[in-house]
Amino acid sequence: MAHHKSAKKRILQTAVKTERNRYYRTRIKNITKAVKEAAIAGDKAVAQEAFKIANKQIHSLVSKGFIKKQTAARKISRLHKLVNELEVA
């Protein structure tokens, strides 16, 4: 256990940051899952709406500094490709 005041504060800050990061990681997984499930079901309209939400949410995480710009671009690109394939089929 920490004995110094600064070490105790650091432990608390780490706990808060860990909880916040867990929330954002889960959020990314859930929004991408919604797009993928709609695409697998073949429902183009639902997939497009889910993609709009995912796009907005992922970009907001970039602005908060949670994920890097290129990581977001890669995730969005893959989801967009998945949604566009529904138009061809």
Domains along the sequence of the chain with CATH: 5-88 (1.20.58.110)
Q: Is residue 88 over pLDDT 70? A: no
The rounded mean pLDDT for the chain is 94
- The helix/strand/coil state of 67 is coil
**What is the model's pLDDT at position 1?**
80
Helices (H), 1-89: 5-41, 44-63, 69-88
Q: Greater confidence, 68 or 2?
A: 68
Q: If you average pLDDT over residues 51-77, what whole number do you get?
A: 96
Q: CA-to-CA distance for 52 and 62, rounded, in angstroms?
A: 16
Q: CA-to-CA distance for 11 and 41, rounded, in angstroms?
A: 45
Q: Are 44 and 87 in contact (CB under 8 A)?
A: yes
Residue 39: other Cβ atoms inside 10 A: 23
Q: Is the pTM of this model over 0.95?
A: no
**What is the model's pLDDT at position 76?**
97
Q: What is the pLDDT of residues 4-35, one digit of tens each?
A: 999 999 999 999 999 999 999 999 999 999 99
**What is the model's pLDDT at position 45?**
92
70 alpha carbon, distance to own chain's centre: 13
